[in-house]
Amino acid sequence: MYDRMQELNQQDFSRVHESAMDLLKNTGIVFNDDEAIEIFKHNNVKVEGKTVFLTEKDVRAALEKAPATFTVAGRNPDKSVAIGGDDFVFVPGYGAPYIIDAQGEQREAVMEDYDTFCKLIHTSKYIDMNGWMMVEPSDMPPETVHMDMMLSNFLLCDKPCMGSPVSRQGAKDGIEMAAIVFGGKEKIMDQPVSVSLINSLSPLQFSDEMVGSLIELARNGQACVVASLIMAGASGPVTLGGVAALQNAEILAGITLAQMVREGAPVIYGSTSSAMDMKTGALSIGAPALAKNTNVTAQMARFYNLPSRSGGGLTDALYPDGQAGIESALALSTAARSGINFILHSCGILGSYIAMSFEKFLMDEELCGMVRQMLKPIAFDDEGIDVEMIKKTGIGGQYLTNPKTFKLCRTEFFLPDLMTRMNYDAWSAGGKKRIHEVADDKLSQRLAKYEKPDIDPAVEKELTEYVNRRKNA
């Protein structure tokens, strides 16, 4: 298969791998968690204070135990998803403190916004999983808001969801709530029902919150994305080759810990590393550097026979405009074409992760549909070509009224909900609406049709009581 994106050769893989092994063995990596240090010591790993020195033997042993593919169960079993190999999922934006509205005004996100995103995800044709912390609700106590978000995930959407990795206790709460939904901890121990994002603290560190969450999640059989977000030129080398080596060391260290906690714990090799804008000093996620790193990340994950994660519809733009469309299309299509399995931030992100936008969510969602259609193989079998039909139509004939055209007219090609394909006169007569205006109109229509998915009333009651009890503890 031919693609102009860089294809790593065996020497490239070896250099990235060996550089990471050199860093882990000789420089080491800090894990800011006492239990993690004890786990490494128990596995005869050299430790000095909180700095852990991993050998290639340690890493290889972990990689042999990590699954290449796994399934994440949804509350609705028909919506469970496979991750790894040729399978991939689109997952919404993550971690934004603000909302940017249709007028371009930025405001703090609230719990109602979070619930709205859950409803949009539940009704989406193209988004495969519910996220977690699509926005950070400012109107809820920060110590317990993780449980409110998990409650919304389970009650407002029946797709598989992401988990709560804010702290060790946050991870425990997410596990307890998932156990209520799925019928007990024993039911989820060998069947992941969540995927949680564990980020390194570059360069070469993991925070206590992330490590504690990783240990609890792995111990209970829940999937973790072990990810690195390096800002090239600031928190990592200015060269993307150096970034690849540094992020590889961080990711492999986290995966090694997960496998020491529980053999076979499902993990995903992840990165959204990109460049520092040399004019402003800010992270640029709309830069080509992000797409180039995404391509490398996907290949390194395959090198280790692991599922991969990257960003999706990412942009530095602060409004769902042309810049947002260009940058998001570049990032999302690169992730999908490169073979990324878990495409986080597939829809909604604006301003380098600072905000989510409902209009941008719908626009990116349509982009996800287009990308999925783009990747669908063309059939060249007898039915796909149908030479007899072509011969029968003959020279100068037409296919518009052919029975096969009638049969396939609604399914053969992608039919957009937002993008215009009308001529200028029709567009002008309709008010000359730009795509973000069309998205704004569609938003209210979509939410008006939302219906809360069925859930056992006893399960809902138990979930709600758990959250209230923990909040009042």
Residue 169, phi-psi category: left (phi > 0), alpha (psi -120 to 50), beta (remainder) = alpha
Instruction: Find the DSSP H helices in 264-385.
Output: 288-303, 322-338, 358-375, 382-385
Q: What is the mean pLDDT of residues 338-359?
A: 98
Which percentage of the chain shows pLDDT scores above 90?
99
Distance CA 254, CA 251 (A): 5
Confidence of residue 437 (pLDDT cuts 50, 70, 90): very high
pLDDT per position as a tens digit, 74-106: 999 999 999 999 999 999 999 999 999 999 999
Which of 179, 76, 171, 177 has the alpha carbon at shortest distance from 129? Answer: 76
Hey, what are 149's tokens?
Answer: 């978000």
Residue 6 to residue 8: CA distance in whole angstroms = 6
Which pLDDT score, from 0 to 100, does residue 1 have? Answer: 60
pTM over 0.85? The answer is: yes
Amino acid 11: pLDDT: 98
First to last CA, the chain: 58
pLDDT by residue (tens digit) across 167-183?
999 999 999 999 999 99
Residue 2, pLDDT > 80, answer no
Residue 254 has what pLDDT? 98
Residue located via tokens 């039911």: 187
Q: What is the rounded average pLDDT of the residues 417-439?
A: 95
pLDDT exceeds cutoff 80 at 457:
yes
Instruction: Say what the pLDDT of residue 126 is.
Output: 97
Rounded mean pLDDT, 252-272: 98
With beta carbons less than 8 A apart as the criterion, state whether 241 and 17 touch.
no
CA distances for 203 relative to 28, 58, 214, 243, angstroms: 11, 21, 18, 10
At 3, the pLDDT band (50, 70, 90 cuts) reads confident
| Closest C-alpha to 31, from 197, 256, 270 | 256
Q: What are the tokens at 395? A: 């020279």
Average pLDDT, stretch 55-66? 98
In one-letter notation, the amino acid at residue 421 is R
Cis peptide before 165 (omega within 30 of 0): no
| pLDDT tens digits along 355-406 | 999 999 999 999 999 999 999 999 999 999 999 999 999 999 999 999 999 9
pLDDT, tens digit (0-9, with 9 covering 90-100), for 169-222? 999 999 999 999 999 999 999 999 999 999 999 999 999 999 999 999 999 999
Report the chain's mean pLDDT, rounded to a whole number. 97
CB 273 within 8 A of CB 229: yes
Tell me how many degrees the CA angle 196-71-357 measures, rounded to the nearest 5: 45
Averaged over 279-289, what is the pLDDT?
95
Distance between CA atoms of 167 and 211, rounded to whole angstroms?
A: 8
Q: Using 50, 70 and 90 to split pLDDT, how confident is the model at 442?
A: very high
Based on C-alpha coordinates, what's the Rg of the chain?
Answer: 23
Backbone phi, psi, residue 414, to 5°: -75, 130
410 DSSP 8-state letter: T
pLDDT in tens, 98-135: 999 999 999 999 999 999 999 999 999 999 999 999 99
